[in-house]
Amino acid sequence: MKKLNIGMVGYGFMGRTHSNAFLKVANFFDLPYQPVLKALCARNAERAKAFAANWGYASVETDWRKLVVSPDIDLIDIASPNDTHMEIAVAAAKAGKMVMCEKPLGRNAAESEQMVQAVEEAGVLNSVWYNYRRVPAVTLAKHLVDDGRLGRIFHYRAKFLQDWTISSDLPQGGEGLWRLDVNVAGSGVTGDLLAHCIDTAMWLNGPIDEVSAMTETFIKSRKHNLTGKVEPVGIDDASAFLGRFRNGALATFEATRYARGHKALYTLEINGENASIMWDLHDLHRLQYFDHRDEGVLRGWRSIHISDRDHPYMSAWWVPGLQIGYEHTFIHQAADFLRAAGDGKSAAPSFREALQTDYVTDAVLQSAANRNWVKVGP
Amino acid sequence: MKKLNIGMVGYGFMGRTHSNAFLKVANFFDLPYQPVLKALCARNAERAKAFAANWGYASVETDWRKLVVSPDIDLIDIASPNDTHMEIAVAAAKAGKMVMCEKPLGRNAAESEQMVQAVEEAGVLNSVWYNYRRVPAVTLAKHLVDDGRLGRIFHYRAKFLQDWTISSDLPQGGEGLWRLDVNVAGSGVTGDLLAHCIDTAMWLNGPIDEVSAMTETFIKSRKHNLTGKVEPVGIDDASAFLGRFRNGALATFEATRYARGHKALYTLEINGENASIMWDLHDLHRLQYFDHRDEGVLRGWRSIHISDRDHPYMSAWWVPGLQIGYEHTFIHQAADFLRAAGDGKSAAPSFREALQTDYVTDAVLQSAANRNWVKVGP
Amino acid sequence: MKKLNIGMVGYGFMGRTHSNAFLKVANFFDLPYQPVLKALCARNAERAKAFAANWGYASVETDWRKLVVSPDIDLIDIASPNDTHMEIAVAAAKAGKMVMCEKPLGRNAAESEQMVQAVEEAGVLNSVWYNYRRVPAVTLAKHLVDDGRLGRIFHYRAKFLQDWTISSDLPQGGEGLWRLDVNVAGSGVTGDLLAHCIDTAMWLNGPIDEVSAMTETFIKSRKHNLTGKVEPVGIDDASAFLGRFRNGALATFEATRYARGHKALYTLEINGENASIMWDLHDLHRLQYFDHRDEGVLRGWRSIHISDRDHPYMSAWWVPGLQIGYEHTFIHQAADFLRAAGDGKSAAPSFREALQTDYVTDAVLQSAANRNWVKVGP
Amino acid sequence: MKKLNIGMVGYGFMGRTHSNAFLKVANFFDLPYQPVLKALCARNAERAKAFAANWGYASVETDWRKLVVSPDIDLIDIASPNDTHMEIAVAAAKAGKMVMCEKPLGRNAAESEQMVQAVEEAGVLNSVWYNYRRVPAVTLAKHLVDDGRLGRIFHYRAKFLQDWTISSDLPQGGEGLWRLDVNVAGSGVTGDLLAHCIDTAMWLNGPIDEVSAMTETFIKSRKHNLTGKVEPVGIDDASAFLGRFRNGALATFEATRYARGHKALYTLEINGENASIMWDLHDLHRLQYFDHRDEGVLRGWRSIHISDRDHPYMSAWWVPGLQIGYEHTFIHQAADFLRAAGDGKSAAPSFREALQTDYVTDAVLQSAANRNWVKVGP
pLDDT given at position B1: 75
Q: Which of D336, D358, D346, D369 is nearest to D82 (CA)?
A: D358
DSSP secondary structure letter of residue D264: S
Report how far apart, in Å, the C-alpha atoms of B356 and of each of A37, A194, B123 are. 71, 61, 19
Amino acid at B109: A
Helix C45-55, helix C13-28: angle, nearest 10: 20
Q: CA-to-CA distance for C96 and C90, rounded, in angstroms?
A: 10
Does D282 sit within 8 Å of A323, measured CB to CB?
A: yes
pLDDT given at position D174: 82
Does D259 sit within 8 Å of B154, measured CB to CB?
A: yes
Q: CA-to-CA distance for B109 and B106, rounded, in angstroms?
A: 7
Residues 118-157 of A with CB under 8 A from C: 154-155, 157
User: B305 to chain A: which residues are within 8 Å by CB?
Assistant: 300
pLDDT given at position A59: 97
> What residues in chain A have per-residue pLDDT under 70?
none
B159 Cβ under 8 Å from any chain A Cβ:
no
Task: Write the pLDDT tens digit of every residue in B196-250.
Answer: 999 999 999 999 999 999 999 999 999 998 899 999 999 999 999 999 999 999 9
Q: CA-to-CA distance for C117 and C263, rounded, in angstroms?
A: 36
- Residue in chain B nearest D165 by alpha carbon: B273
Q: State if pTM tops 0.90.
A: yes
Q: Looking at this predicted complex, what is its ipTM?
A: 0.97
pLDDT given at position C261: 98
pLDDT at C194 > cutoff 80? yes
Q: CA-to-CA distance for C321 and C192, rounded, in angstroms?
A: 32
Q: CA-to-CA distance for A250 and A271, rounded, in angstroms?
A: 10
pLDDT above 70: percentage of residues in chain C: 100
CB-neighbour burial class of residue B222 (10 A; exposed 0-12, middle 13-18, buried 19+): buried
Does C154 sit within 8 Å of A259, measured CB to CB?
A: yes
User: B213 to chain D: which residues are within 8 Å by CB?
Assistant: 242
User: A242 to chain C: which residues are within 8 Å by CB?
Assistant: 212-214, 240-242
Say how many C-beta atoms besides its own lie within 10 A of residue C110's C-beta: 12
Residue C1 binned pLDDT confidence (cut-offs 50, 70, 90): confident
Spatial CB neighbours of B158, under 8 Å, sequence gap ≥ 6: B197, B200, B201, B252, B253, B254, B266, B267, B268, B269
List alpha helices for A207-299, DSSP H: none
Task: Write the pLDDT tens digit of every residue in C88-128.
Answer: 999 999 999 999 999 999 999 999 999 999 999 999 999 99
Amino acid at D348: A
Which of B161, B252, B371 lies at the smallest CB-CB distance from D254? B252
Task: Write the pLDDT tens digit of every residue in C155-183.
Answer: 999 999 999 999 999 999 887 899 999 99
Torsion of CA D286, D290, D291, D297, to 10 degrees: 120
pLDDT given at position B269: 98
Does C304 sit within 8 Å of D298, measured CB to CB?
A: yes
Q: CA-to-CA distance for A338 and A359, rounded, in angstroms?
A: 28
Strands A126-129 and A98-102: parallel
Task: Write the pLDDT tens digit of every residue in C40-89.
Answer: 999 999 999 999 999 999 999 999 999 999 999 999 999 999 999 999 99
Say how many CB pairs under 8 Å bridge A and C: 111
Report how far apart, in Å, the C-alpha atoms of B336 and of each of A346, B39, B197, B331, C34 are. 67, 22, 21, 9, 31
Which of D296, D302, D310 lies at the smallest CB-CB distance from C302? D302
Report how far apart, in Å, the C-alpha atoms of A91 and of each of A107, D318, D360 are. 17, 30, 65
Amino acid at C20: N
Strands C75-78 and C2-9: parallel
Q: Which of D105, D43, D36, D25 is nearest to D73 (CA)?
A: D36
Mean pLDDT of C198-215: 98
Task: Write the pLDDT tens digit of every residue in D38-70.
Answer: 999 999 999 999 999 999 999 999 999 999 999
Per-position b or e across B1-32, b if 16+ CB within 10 A of its CB: eeebbbbbbbbbebbbbbbbbbbbbbbbbebe
Which of A214, A248, A260 lies at the smallest CB-CB distance from C242? A214
Does D240 sit within 8 Å of B252, measured CB to CB?
A: yes
* Tally of CA atoms within 13 A in the half-sphere of B182 that contains its CB: 14
pLDDT above 70: percentage of residues in chain D: 100
> What residues in chain B have per-residue pLDDT under 70?
none
Helix C85-94, helix C109-122: angle, nearest 10: 10
D220 Cβ under 8 Å from any chain B Cβ:
no
Q: CA-to-CA distance for C93 and C76, rounded, in angstroms?
A: 9
**DSSP-assigned letters across all residues of D323-358:** ---TTHHHHHHHHHHHHHHHTT-PPSSPHHHHHHHH
Average pLDDT of chain C to the nearest whole number: 97
Task: Write the pLDDT tens digit of every residue in D261-302.
Answer: 999 999 999 999 999 999 999 999 999 999 999 999 999 999
pLDDT given at position B176: 81
pLDDT given at position B150: 98
Q: CA-to-CA distance for C216 and A156, rounded, in angstroms?
A: 14
Which of D13, D162, D325 lies at the smallest CB-CB distance from A325? D325
Mean pLDDT of D256-265: 98
pLDDT given at position D176: 80
pLDDT given at position C175: 79
Residues 300-359 of D with CB under 8 A from A: 305, 307-308, 317-328
Mean pLDDT of C309-322: 98
Q: Which of C91, C112, C1, C3 is nearest to C41 (CA)?
A: C91
pLDDT above 90: percentage of residues in chain B: 98
pLDDT at D356 > cutoff 80? yes
> Phi and psi at residue A233, in whole multiples of 5°?
-85, 125
